[in-house]
Structures are given as structure tokens and as C-alpha cells.
Amino acid sequence: MKHLTIIVPNGQSNLSTIASIAGACDVFSRANMYWKDAGKGELFNIELAGISEKADYYGGLITLTPQVHISEIAKTDLIVIPATTIRSYEDAVHGNKLFIDWIGQQYKNGAEIASICSGAFMLASTGLLDGKSCSTHWCVADVFRNSFPNVHLEADKLITDGHGIYTNGGGYSFLNLLIYLVEKYYDRQAAIFCAKVFQIEIDRQSQSAFTIFTGQKLHGDEMIKEAQTYIEDKLDEKISIENLSSRFAVGRRNFDRRFIKATGNTPVEYTQRVKIESAKKALETTRKTINEVMYEVGYSDVKAFREVFKKITGISPLEYKAKYNKDGVV
């Protein structure tokens, strides 16, 4: 039988921490039952592990009692790191050194690791994500990039999978990661069964449609901040990046380099994201047609607008409006 360790952090947690711990335990327990009923036996021995006798959440409203101290687990096959309130490398290492060292050692011993939402901060603090891809909640993407510049953050992805390390996006999308892991470790039929029992949409790959783009401003390059403000103030115009770089008396190549370093996007990508975010809000809250919205954000070609919109959100403008504007008329 394989061993599954679900980490129970003490502190730096919220109700999402509880949800992801309980959800992981519930989904894997049900997958175990499915396999047992099919005559295959339970696949995982599931244990909640911590570094204290109990962990209080939400002002003591909820208390979890870990079954074992992590030091008692010499070897495990899969580790699940739940969501936390950790928002920087400093937060992660404060009070979590035992977790971080133990996770790193278990990975060296062959364990695979899955982080849920902002649990990616604790995982990244082990150094195991350096040079690798990961995802986390879109709302902490900027902070994560600044804290872990050696990690390739793919914030649009719902799930990343590589080198025995799995990460997922934000919020309750962790349920999609759990179904993904059930298929990986059990089989497709077990995953379908659990998806039906818990009513989780199977095979979802992107969190793009849920992302609210606010612009990456947590950097110290004042010129780039001014450029960002200019882009955001000219939504209805077709912006020339050549002209924009000229406004700041900087060559295009150097301008692009500084923009990417500061924001994680090229100027063109940033302009597209700002425009599409504005278009999304219009599609959500108004009765304007797709064409009206398209013109308001500086596009004149329907095909180009549709392609950029789908690239960023994962769905077409028409699908987006149908999904998020109950009263909208296309």
C-alpha cells in the first residue's frame, strides 16, 4: 500500500486551508473505497501530519489534530500541501523549517508532491521548483514571481505536472487537481467516479476565465509604471509600442527588456491583457454587443479580437458573455 501525507500547518492558515485538507482526505478516501469495491484493495494509507499536537483555525473555531508528527513518517509516496496565507519566502520559512526540510528530503527519497493554491509558496521555499513550472492563485501571482524569480510561474494554468511535482491554481480549483491525481494514481474510471460523486468538472485545464488582471505593479521601475498607466488610460486606442518607447526616450529593445523584467509580460502582451480585462467587465455587466465592446477596447478586426480574447481567457467573447452575463443580449 502506498502512503499519502496531507500536511496540517499550524498558523498562516485560513478556512481554505481546512477545505483543501478535508477535500484531499475526502476525495482520496472515496477513491480508496471505489478500488476496494472493485476488488483491488485500498491504494493509499492516508495520514494527516503536522508539527504540533493540534492546529487551530479561524480564531479557534475549528481545530485539527494531526495523526502523526512529520518526523514519524520515514517514507511517503505523495505529499499534499494545502492552501495557506503565506505570501513570501520570508513567510514560508518562518515557523515552517521542519516542513520545508522534511518535504525536500522526502522528494529526494522518491516522494511526489502536490501543492494546492498558495501552498506553492511553501513548496517553492524548498528550492524544488527552481527552474521548473508551477501555478498558484492568480491574485498572488505577482508576489510569487517577486519572491521566487527562479520559478517559471504559469498562472493561467489550472494544473502543472512535471518531475513528480504537481501544482494548481487558486481557490476550490484544488478539487480538479485531486481528480487529476486520482486518475494518475488509480485509473480513469476511478477519476470519473469521484468526479461524479463530488460533482467536479473533469479535465478542466485553465483558470484563465477566472483571472482578474490588475496589472503587475509590484516592481521598482518608475518608467515602466508610467508606461503601464499610459496603456491603461488609452484603452480605446491602438497603441504603437515603438511610439510608446519613444515617449520615454528608450530604444525598443531596451524598453521591451525592462518591461518584461518588471511585469513578466512583453508590452504587447500587457496591452492585450489590459484591453481584454476591460472587455470582460463590459461583457459581464452591460448589454453591449461583442462588436461594441471590441471597438471600445481599440480593436477593429473581429477575428483578431476573438483570437486574443480566447488566448487570454480560454473561451470566446460570445461564450464568456453567455457564461457571466445572465441578462446580456448578444
Tens digit of pLDDT for each residue in 278-324? 999 999 989 999 999 999 999 999 999 999 999 999 899 999 999 88
Among residues 177, 208, 239, the one where a domain terminates is 208
Confidence of residue 96 (pLDDT cuts 50, 70, 90): confident
Confidence of residue 211 (pLDDT cuts 50, 70, 90): confident
More confident residue, 180 or 87: 180
Do 195 and 246 share a structural domain?
no
Q: State percent of the chain over pLDDT 90.
A: 69
Do 118 and 76 share a structural domain?
yes
Q: Is 216 among the domain residues?
A: no
Rounded to an integer, the average pLDDT of 186-213 is 87
Length of the chain: 330
Confidence of residue 22 (pLDDT cuts 50, 70, 90): very high
CATH no. for residue 316? 1.10.10.60
Among residues 180, 208, 236, the one where a domain terminates is 208
Q: Is 230 among the domain residues?
A: yes
Q: Is 260 among the domain residues?
A: yes
CATH no. for residue 8? 3.40.50.880
Amino acid, single-letter form, for residue 212: I
Among residues 161, 182, 208, the one where a domain terminates is 208
Q: Is 123 among the domain residues?
A: yes
SS (H, E, C) the chain: CEEEEEECCCCCCCHHHHHHHHHHHHHHHHHHHHHHHCCCCCCEEEEEEECCCCEEECCCCEEECCCEEHHHCCCCCEEEECCCCCCCHHHHHCCCHHHHHHHHHHHHCCCEEEECHHHHHHHHHCCCCCCCEECCCHHHHHHHHHHCCCCEECCCECEEEECCEEEECCHHHHHHHHHHHHHHHCCHHHHHHHHHHHCCCCCCCECHHHCCCCCCCCCCCHHHHHHHHHHHHCCCCCCCHHHHHHHCCCCHHHHHHHHHHHHCCCHHHHHHHHHHHHHHHHHHHCCCCHHHHHHHCCCCCHHHHHHHHHHHHCCCHHHHHHHHCCCCCC
End-to-end CA distance of the chain: 55
Q: Which of 104-113, 154-163, 198-207, 264-273 is the least confident region?
A: 198-207
Do 107 and 34 share a structural domain?
yes
Per-residue cell: 118: 498558495
Q: Which residues pair with 4 in a beta bridge?
A: 46, 78
Predicted confidence at residue 300, as pLDDT, reads: 92
Do 231 and 106 share a structural domain?
no
Q: Is 329 among the domain residues?
A: no
Half-sphere exposure of 262 (CA within 13 A, CB side): 22
Predicted confidence at residue 330, as pLDDT, reads: 43
User: Rounded to whole angstroms, what are the CA distances from 262 to 32, 112, 175, 210, 312?
Assistant: 46, 33, 33, 23, 20
Residue 81 phi/psi, 5-degree rounding, is -100, 120
Do 172 and 244 share a structural domain?
no
Residue 329 has pLDDT above 50, yes or no: no
Do 184 and 239 share a structural domain?
no
Do 169 and 21 share a structural domain?
yes
The Cα 325–Cα 306 span in angstroms is 18
Site of grid cell 483558470: 207
Residue 127 has pLDDT above 60, yes or no: yes
Site of grid cell 488566448: 311
- Structural domain boundaries enclosing 231: 222-324
Which residue in 102, 111, 101 sits closest to 164, CA to CA?
111
Exposed (0-12), middle (13-18) or buried (19+): which is 31, by Cβ within 10 Å?
buried
Do 118 and 54 share a structural domain?
yes
Amino acid, single-letter form, for residue 310: K
Do 177 and 204 share a structural domain?
yes
Q: Is 214 among the domain residues?
A: no
Per-residue cell: 171: 481557490
Rounded to an integer, the average pLDDT of 113-121 is 95
Rounded to an integer, the average pLDDT of 35-41 is 94
Which residue in 257, 266, 254, 280 sits closest to 228, CA to CA?
266
Do 235 and 195 share a structural domain?
no
Rounded to an integer, the average pLDDT of 154-164 is 91
Number of domains in the chain: 2
pTM for this predicted structure: 0.76
Do 152 and 231 share a structural domain?
no
Tens digit of pLDDT for each residue in 236-286? 888 899 999 999 999 999 999 999 988 888 999 999 999 999 999 999 989
Residue 160 phi/psi, 5-degree rounding, is -115, 150
Residue 328 has pLDDT above 60, yes or no: no
Q: Is 330 among the domain residues?
A: no
Do 239 and 124 share a structural domain?
no
Which residue in 115, 70, 124, 62 sits closest to 92, CA to CA?
124
Q: Is 29 among the domain residues?
A: yes
